[in-house]
Amino acid sequence: MKRSIKALIAAAAIAVAAPATAQDIIVVSHGQADDPFWSVVKKGVELAAKHTGASVDYRSPPTFDMAAMAQLIDAAVTQEPKGLIVSIPDPEALGPSIKRAVAAGIPVISINSGGDVSKGLGAALHVGQSEYDAGKIAGARLAAEGGTKGLCVNQEVGNVSLDKRCAGFAEGFGGDVTVLPTTTDPADIEAKVRAALESDPSIDSIITLSASLAGEPAVRAVKGVGSKAKVASFDLSAGFLEAILAGDAAFAIDQQQFLQGYLPVTFLALHAKYGLMPGGDVPSGPNLITAEKAGQVVKLSARGIR
């Protein structure tokens, strides 16, 4: 996988050396640009636009709203862009809009979520990670560290990708796993994790699905009740990486979302100018970030790149 990523970045360097003519590329995601995770995606989008000379517009609904997101995709299609980049957290809700884009002759690349349905909807390729497999890796790792009772903290129940993370975690963990639904409010997450630990002290393993929104609050909750539960999280934040370095968290799963913004813009710009397109999906993750690796990426995370 590392070789393929390096090869794709090398291809991106060609675009830097010979910038593409400015093209209209529209990104429609389910995540807001001010969200800590999606702000990294947007930075990737912006750097790729700078490197390729493409004109790129990032759009998202103000909240996790599939009807609003479908409308944004439909509106993008009417503008006839040279390329469309979409996340697919709910294929049933977004599929018809994506198919309309494909039928209109607009090249589509999916990112982050929906890798298992992307091809079926007509997208050229997907840039992201297998959420279920990443969850299995996380579950197996915590089980190997002695975990027997787990908690999966899900801040967006109904988001297919997040639901798959919890399902994969349950399989990989192999023990007793409970899904804890929360909002996206860190204070709410901390309170609910704390309440879960107080009501069931046998919980020894916690997986969260966002390092900044849920991972950091979960670490605070564990310390607040004096629990010895191990906390791991999907994705990165400077604070969670510091917790790993301090021994307060076990590990993080990095899907390298910067690549999810950077690579699709580069691919679509190259396609618009030269007709080039990779022949398959690009796995941007998962990468396990433990204490041995955390120090290498904490500064980049603080800069919004990792």
Q: Which CATH number do you get for residue 271?
A: 3.40.50.2300
- Please tell me the predicted confidence (pLDDT) of residue 295: 83
- Please tell me the predicted confidence (pLDDT) of residue 19: 42
Residue 78 lies in a domain: yes
The confidence band for 4, taking pLDDT boundaries of 50, 70 and 90, is low
Burial class (CB in 10 A: 0-12, 13-18, 19+), 306: buried
Cα–Cα dist 30/61, whole Å = 7
Residue 84 lies in a domain: yes
The confidence band for 8, taking pLDDT boundaries of 50, 70 and 90, is low
Residue 9 lies in a domain: yes
Q: At 283, which helix (H) or strand (E)?
A: strand 282-283
Percentage with pLDDT > 70 across the chain: 92
Cα–Cα dist 20/15, whole Å = 7
149 and 194 fall within a common domain: yes
Residue 297 lies in a domain: no
The confidence band for 298, taking pLDDT boundaries of 50, 70 and 90, is confident
Of the listed ranges 13-17, 36-40, 159-163, 284-288, the least confidently predicted one is 13-17
125 and 263 fall within a common domain: yes
110 and 162 fall within a common domain: no
137 and 77 fall within a common domain: no
123 and 261 fall within a common domain: yes
- Please tell me the predicted confidence (pLDDT) of residue 112: 93
Residue 113 lies in a domain: yes
- Please tell me the predicted confidence (pLDDT) of residue 6: 53
Cα–Cα dist 184/194, whole Å = 16
244 and 269 fall within a common domain: no
56 and 96 fall within a common domain: yes
143 and 93 fall within a common domain: no
Q: Which domain holds residue 76?
A: 2-129+256-285
Is 268's pLDDT higher than 70?
A: yes
Beta strand 149-154 pairing with 125-128: unpaired
CA separation, residue 65 to residues 30, 69, 291 (Å): 7, 6, 36
Number of domains in the chain: 2
How is residue 19 written in tokens?
């910038």
For residues 203-219, give the mean pLDDT: 97
152 and 232 fall within a common domain: yes
Residue 295 lies in a domain: no
The confidence band for 34, taking pLDDT boundaries of 50, 70 and 90, is confident
Residue 223 lies in a domain: yes
88 and 176 fall within a common domain: no
Residue 299 lies in a domain: no
CA separation, residue 80 to residues 50, 56, 201, 273 (Å): 21, 13, 56, 16
193 and 107 fall within a common domain: no
pLDDT tens column, 113-155: 999 999 999 999 999 999 999 999 999 999 999 999 999 999 9
Is 255's pLDDT higher than 50?
A: yes
100 and 179 fall within a common domain: no
Q: Give the Cβ contact number of residue 239 at 10 Å.
A: 19
